Amino acid sequence: MPSSATLRSARIIAVLAVTQVISWGTSFDMMGVMGRVIADDLALPNEIIFFGLSLMMLVSALAGPTTGRFIDRYGAAKVLSAASVAFAIGLTILSLSHEPVVYFLAWVVIGLAGAMGLTAPAYAAVVEREGLNGKRTIAILMLFTGLSATVFWPILTYLTAHIGWRMSFGLCAVIHILVCLPLHLFGLPRPEGGADAKRAAEMAPVPLEPAEKKRAFLYLASATAIASFVSFGLSPSLLALLQHAGASPALALQLGSARGAIGVSARMVDMVLGRRGNPLLTGLIGMSLMLMSFALLAFIPGYNPVLVGFMLLYGFGTGVVAVARALMPLSLFSAREYGLQAARLSLPQNLANAAAPVIFTAILDRVGFTATVMTGAVLSAISLVFIVLLMGLVRRAASREPLAAQGA
C-alpha cells in the first residue's frame, strides 16, 4: 500500500501537471498553431504577431524577482492562484484585440501571469511541500510539462476550426478560472508545519557564507542563462543548421523530430536517479555533451552518422541541462530560499530566451554554418566553466563543515 508521503507526492504532481500543461499550452505553446491565424485575421505581419511571445518573455523576466519575493512572503499556492486569474484576464483581452496596442497589452498581462505561474513558482510549490527531497517530483513534473504542446496543439486546432480563435481564447480563459484556480487554491496539500519542518526548510545543503552565496548565485545564473541561450536560441534554426551540415530535408526533419524524444529520455534518467542524483554533476555532464555535439559537427560535418551522433549528444545534453537548471538551486540554497532564488534566476534566463532565437537566426543566415556551430561551442564551454567554478565553491564549503564540527 502506498505510503502517505507517496500519496502526497502523487497529489502534488497531479495538480501541478494539469495546471502547468494548461498554462504552457494556452500561452507560449499556443502560438505554434494560432499565430498565423491571428495574423491573417488582424491583417498584421507574422513577425508583429510573434513579437507577442518575446514581449511575454521580457515581462516575465523583469517580473521574476518580484515574484520570488511574493512566493517568499505569501507562499507558492497563492502566487499560482493569482497567475490563473492573470492568465484568464490576458487571454480575454487577447480574444477582444483588434489592433496592435490591445494585442500587445494582452501579452504584457500574459507575461505577468507567466512570471507567477510558469515553472519556477510550480517548482517552488513542490519544495515548500517536500523540501530538498523534491528533486524526483520536479523531474517527474518536467516530463508532463514537456507534453503541453502535444496536448494543446490538436485541441486549439480543432477549436479554431469550429468556433474561431477568439472564442477559443475565451474558452481557455474560462479553463484557467474553473480548473487551474481551484486546483491551486484547494488541490495542493498544505506545507508541513512543526518545528522540525521549519528547521529543515531553513537548512541549506551546503553552508555557504554570505560572500560565497553571492558568488554561487552569479556562477549559477551565468551557467544557466548561457545554457538556456544556446538551447532555446538554436531550436528554431535546428532544421536549417542540419541542412547546412549536409542533411537532406527529410533527414533533418527526422533528426529534429527525434530531439524531443531524446530530451525526454534524459529527463527520465534523472527522474530514476531521484534523490541520489547530483544536480551540479548533472549540469556538468549535460553541458559537456552539448560541447561535444558542436565539436563533432564543426570538425566532421557532412556525414549522416555524424549528424545522428550530433543529435544524440545535443538532444540528450539539452534534456539533461533542462533538469539541472531546475534542480541546481536545491544544491545551494535552503528549501525556504528556493522560491526566491529560482524566481531571481528566471530573470537572466528569460532575457536570454527572448534574445536568443533572433541572434542565432541572424548568425546562421548572415555569417554562416561554421560561425553558428562555433558560437554554440564557445558558449557551451563558457557555461561549463561556470559550472566547474560553482562545483569548486561548493566543494570548498562542504569540506569546511567537518572541520567546523571538529572545532566545536
Q: What's the residue count for the chain?
A: 408
Residues 6+ apart with CB under 8 A from 154: none
Closest CA to 117 of 172, 52, 169, 184: 184
Q: How far apart are CA 187 and CA 173, in angstroms?
A: 19
Give me the domains of the chain, ranges plus CATH numbers.
4-198 (1.20.1250.20), 205-407 (1.20.1250.20)
Q: Residue 299 gets which letter from DSSP?
A: H
Q: How far apart are CA 204 and CA 336, in angstroms?
A: 9
Between CA 28 and CA 38, with CA 34 as vertex, the angle to 5 degrees is 115
State residue 333 phi and psi, 5-degree precision: -120, 160
Grid look-up 493569482 returns 82
Burial class (CB in 10 A: 0-12, 13-18, 19+), 220: buried
Would you give the distance in Å from CA 186 to the centre of its chain? 25
CA 47, 48, 52, 57 torsion: positive or negative?
positive
All three cell numbers of 346:
528566471
What is the full per-residue pLDDT of the chain (408 aa) written as tens digits? 567 777 888 899 999 999 999 999 999 888 878 888 898 999 888 878 888 888 998 899 899 889 989 998 899 999 999 999 999 999 999 999 999 999 999 999 999 999 999 988 999 999 888 876 777 788 788 877 777 877 888 899 899 999 999 999 999 999 999 999 999 999 999 886 654 455 555 556 777 788 888 899 999 999 999 998 998 888 767 888 888 888 888 888 788 777 767 777 766 666 665 555 678 888 898 899 999 999 998 888 767 888 889 889 998 888 888 888 888 888 788 777 888 888 888 888 888 887 888 788 888 888 888 999 999 999 999 999 999 999 999 888 877 655 444 444
Is 386:222 a contact under the CB 8 Å cutoff?
Answer: yes
Half-sphere exposure of 227 (CA within 13 A, CB side): 33
Task: Determine if the pTM surpasses 0.75.
Answer: yes
N-terminal to C-terminal alpha carbon distance within the chain: 44
**Count of C-beta atoms within a 10 Å radius of residue 242:** 24
